[in-house]
Amino acid sequence: MTYADGRLYCLSQEGEMALIRPTPDRFEFTGRFRLVSDHDKDVWAHPVILDGRLYLRYHDRLFCYDIRAR
């Protein structure tokens, strides 16, 4: 889990990525997707944000997403 810009970037060990906005009353899911469709091993690497890019690692694969505001 990583926190940036008022949101939590959560990657589950099953490979689901979720963007969550915490509020005083609850967590609001603002987006989610499955990182890999051929999930055969658990995901253990933490999400990393650097220079407006979200980096996600699944064993020998590295994914990069541009998360800068447009």
User: What are the start-end ranges of the E strands in the chain?
Assistant: 2-4, 7-11, 16-22, 27-34, 48-50, 53-58, 61-66
pLDDT in the model for residue 42: 85
> Can you give the pTM of this predicted structure?
0.86
pLDDT in the model for residue 67: 93
* Domain span including residue 40: 2-66
pLDDT in the model for residue 33: 95
* Tens digit of each residue's pLDDT (9 = 90 or more) over 26-60: 999 999 999 988 777 888 899 999 999 999 999 88
pLDDT in the model for residue 22: 96
Total tally of structural domains belonging to the chain: 1
